[in-house]
Amino acid sequence: MIRMALEYDLSTDADLRDDELRAFFAAALEGEIGAGGAVFRDGMYATVYRVADGEEDETSRLFGFDERVSGTFRFQNASTEQDRQHNMALMISSALAFSARYASRGVLLHNGDVAVLQWSPGEVVFHSGWHDWLDSAEVAPLVAGHPVRPLPQPLL
């Protein structure tokens, strides 16, 4: 069976320095910061950085905010299904923890175009059309207690 690589892109208007971002996501993902600042763990790595002034991606404006932080979570093809599910849960819990700790607006996109999670101060919404959330015993409890409804999909 051939597996496609999974990638999720995070964009938020939180105003943080690179070192703060890396430390936060290293702890949340139970990973290690490697050379170049990426956070590595078995089966996944994440790059998260502050966006320089003038280099903001226009995509975030479609979701109602100006991008200050950008990140990518890449799941490795060769990992086991158990590792993939655990890493998915860690990614979701890190986004939830980030939204709770830093009053911000943000979005998590699957492969750069499908909004699967969106947050603003005081609210986190999961996209009802994204069934991967409920296929995992580790992820489903993270979704519980949050609204699940259709999210705007301005990139599709």
pLDDT (tens place) for every residue of the chain, 156 residues total: 445 568 999 999 999 999 999 999 999 999 999 989 999 999 999 999 999 998 988 889 999 999 999 999 999 988 888 999 999 999 999 999 999 999 999 999 999 999 999 999 989 999 999 887 777 899 999 999 899 999 999 998
Instruction: Please give the model's pTM, rounded to 2 decimal places.
Output: 0.93
- Cβ–Cβ contacts within 10 Å for residue 93, how many? 17
Spans of all domains in the chain = 6-149
pLDDT value of position 1:
44
Per-residue pLDDT at 3:
54
Does domain 6-149 bear CATH number 3.30.420? no
Write the single-letter amino acid at 137.
A
The alpha-helical segments, DSSP class H, found in the chain are 18-28, 59-62, 81-101, 140-143
* Residue owning tokens 């259709």: 150
